[in-house]
Structure 1
Amino acid sequence: MNAAVPLSRPQVPRAQGEVRLSARAQGGVTRLGDLRAQGSLKALFPRGAGDALEVVTLNTAGGLTSGDRMRLEARAEAGARLRLSTQAAERAYRAGEAEPARVETRLSAGPGARIDWLPQETILYDGARLERRLLADLEGDATALLVEPLVFGRLAHGEVLREGRLRDRWEVRRDGRLRFADAFRVEGDIAATLDRAGVGGGARAMATVVVAGPGAESHLAAARALCAGTGGAGMIEDGLLFARLLAADGFALRQALVPLIVRLSGAALPKTWTL
């Protein structure tokens, strides 16, 4: 008799996407330089962003689950103005015990350039496994505004994050030197961890904000006033402001975060935030 051949577990398709782009200053406005997009990550270019190039990224896979890989690389060349956002909130779905979804964002800016990273919320579902890296490389007097909002569970659906994992790492360099690093990790019973007074105090949404560039300290007083009751802001060093906000849910987080972004960017939010 022929020996039984064990059946292998079918491989689930994994979503992969990558966008690489650059922005160039020409005649007082910023225009698209290079662009390469592949897989399920796309780039859209709305009109009416003033002298800045506005870019909206879109994950056509509809969310993130185990084994997905997304990578964005964006550069503002010398003197350029680049604003990046997302078409909608990103969603990290249940991944079980499988490998996590991984997202990497690499931003760079040349002398005199400005780059704003303003994605909408990432929503974690119960059982999600997500690892992210945000890397910013600045040259000379370049400026970066970096924002990442997170929502832990769909409270309107009664969802509680009893199991999952998030690992989030930020690095900001100027002229090759590391000026800021932040590592955030939460795993296991996420809701119970966030309920601890020294962690989240019951919060179910948070945002991390960094302003790196000349004159960042001029925003400190306003940032502290806008964060009052929901978080705090301080200077890591000259030209580097850090803020973190906590809120009961995504709606409350937006109420605090939107005025802060407008103040720090000096411009209205990307239109996708209001659609």
Structure 2
Amino acid sequence: MPILSYPHKENEWIEPDDIDRPVVTFGGITAAATSFELDLHHHRKGQILLVQRGALSCEMERGLWIVPPRSAVWIPGGTPHAIRASGIMEGYCAFVAPDAAPCLPTRCCAVSVTPLLRELLIRAAHLPAFYEEGGAESRLLTVLLDEFASAERDDLHLPMPGDSRLRRIADLMMASPGDRVTLDIWAKRTGMSERSLARLTARETGMSFGNWRQQLMVMLAVGRLAEGVAIQQVAADLGYESVPSFVTMFRKTLGAAPGRYMAARQAG
């Protein structure tokens, strides 16, 4: 499906899989709306998507990734994925043919973007679609892929359950994160015992129910903070009785308080 417009040809929509080059880049992708969504789709080429401003969530391979500023997500070729952007979104994207870079990950992942990687993506986004292969432009793209392959992995990933009962719980939590329902109440709502729900969660996600919910809260918090929502409001939206308790949870999970964490992302 065509999803992007080549920057030098306004209003011309291009399917990256149709361009006969190993790497196809786009840049300055901007959405001024408060949010937009792309339904489940896939490409033959793999996809690097850098978030420069705003926040992106991407669901694929029974996992949910939150991509804040100064991060990028890797989507291997042929992987069905759905995308949702929040806030004023700006980003850069590279589509990579399956045989172009065997050094790239074989599974979906998010990475922290170094200044060099960011500048390489920005520079590559201004290349012509049909750049000359074997020259300086090809070498630049090779460096870009090497830099991405060596980038540090990010932590903002949540395993998503395949079981329909757990998936319903997950959807309800994401829709109303401030509803701090306990495990025993969720168990009653799904017609299960507490022990059965706990075991099912561990089997489906590899995490305890409490740890899984806390990771979800952190990811939702990062997305909201990237939209520019105040820390006090985010804490309230997630059902925390006080800002300090929210900050403590955030710092324990990501290693920095929310304000410091987002300041580093925005500065990058």
TM-score, normalisation: structure 1 = 0.28
**Bigger strand fraction:** 1
**Bigger helix fraction:** 2
TM-score, normalisation: structure 2 = 0.29
